[in-house]
Chains A and B, each alone.
Chain A
Amino acid sequence: MSDAPTTEQLTAWITRFAELVHEHRDELTALDSAIGDADHGSNMDRGMTAVVAALTEAPPDDPAALLKKTGATLVSKVGGASGPLYGTLFLRMAGAVGEGFAPALRAGFDGVLARGKAEPGDKTMVDALGPACDVLDAGGSVAEAAQAAADGRDATVPLVARKGRASYLGERSAGHADPGATSTAYLLQAAAETLS
């Protein structure tokens, strides 16, 4: 999509992401049990439930306000690594959403890189978010970006984690998809279903 997304579209996107996180809560937690500390599903579900409640209670007037509220709610409700990372993603998107979804997602991605200091190939959400941004920047559709995020998630399976709690496992972290890359793939899937 080349036009800037509307408040309604973004609300639909975030609501759909919350649904997907809730549906896949156990899957995300199981992935995190294998290589982390078994809290990604419950934390993201708790955070996105709070986001949807905050947006329903007082619907923001414009796209930037909506993204800011989403990010601030995640930062103050989630904790762990996902709170600051997903929170920063949405907060940074708020500053660039007037230019369109692709520049906003890129700005959010830059924020995630700065906050988490992870690089591509470290087996983190960066491995799903980066390829999605690349597709959008090259003029691809949101559906194509979602596919790139899903491929990026799958590509984390053989990787050895270098960031986050999975990194403590060393070689034993290989063989499982990264939970953060998996939730990010759902974020893009939700975008493909609501923003295209």
Chain B
Amino acid sequence: MNRAALFFLNVYLYSLFLFISGLVTPILTGVVVALAPISPRRRSMKRFRRFISWYGKIITRAAYPFIKVRYEDHAEQGAEGPFIFVCNHQSASDPFLMSVLPHECVQIVNIWPFRIPVLGVYARFAGYLNIRMMSHGQFIEKASRLLEQGVSVIFFPEGTRSTTGKMGSFHGAAFRLALETKAPVVPLCITGNAQIPPKGSLLLRPGTIRIRRLPAVTWNEYKDVNAFTLKNRVWKIIDRELTSMESKA
């Protein structure tokens, strides 16, 4: 795609993003706020997180046909949620893509997502956890409470977006949480969005993004290993799958 076409594509996509955000977020927020006084807090939170997921779905689908999003569910029947989702991280679009998951979810984030205007405020209200702003003990306590309430948690355990095309090593928090809570760990693989947008840029390029959900690693499969070993096993599962997805792309 030449520079002019790319320029107009980005003007179109960002205008669409702002238009939809300006239209959808006040409506969804209004519904949540209006129903909050007559709903228990738990139900309000569930509704709020569902609306965030709808917003993500609308934003990611609106870019069609320039940016196509394909969700491939390879999960086997059996494992019951809530889940600990573990996903590779190449682009700022990854958090939006989590809207494909049909669960009530909270994302575990770094400092910067909370600083994004408007969206950062929504993330805070939705109970997203900033892992850098709390001790390990506090984090495990809060995340365990979410899982007890039936809320799945999503990790990007590389901590930062990869720029090399190769998945970075994982931090251990997701796997320590798994060992504490016995929750199934679900590997998620994203390909095709390294340029949508690339790290350090806002420039969107057309392409097809694939999100593949793999079978859960259950408590029975990891109960005898430590967090480090579980982390490396899941890293290998995702790495192998990414290689396979990219070779068939």
A binds B: no
